Amino acid sequence: AVWGIPTAVCAFLIHSVRLKRLDGWLAREMGNQRGAAGNTNTAAAKQG
């Protein structure tokens, strides 16, 4: 059981870092999609 504690702590830290990176990637992707959709709608509104 003593050997399991450091392994669990390392796994938790690695997983936390990966989730943080995933959150950042998703935020950038959502920002890009919103920006692209906003630009398309704005361009259509200007033409109409």
Please give the share of the chain, as a percent, with pLDDT higher than 90: 56
pLDDT band at 11 (very low <50, low <70, confident <90, very high): very high
Predicted TM-score (pTM) of the model is 0.59
Structure tokens at 22: 């995933």
Nearest alpha-carbon partner for 32 in 40, 17, 48, 20: 40
From residue 21, give the alpha-carbon distance in Å to each of 14, 15, 18, 28, 44: 11, 10, 5, 11, 35
DSSP SS3 for 1: coil
Res. 21 pLDDT band, cuts 50 70 90: very high
Residue 41, pLDDT score: 54
Read off the DSSP letter of residue 11: H
pLDDT of 28 strictly over 60: yes
Q: pLDDT at residue 9 above 80?
A: yes
DSSP state of 48: -
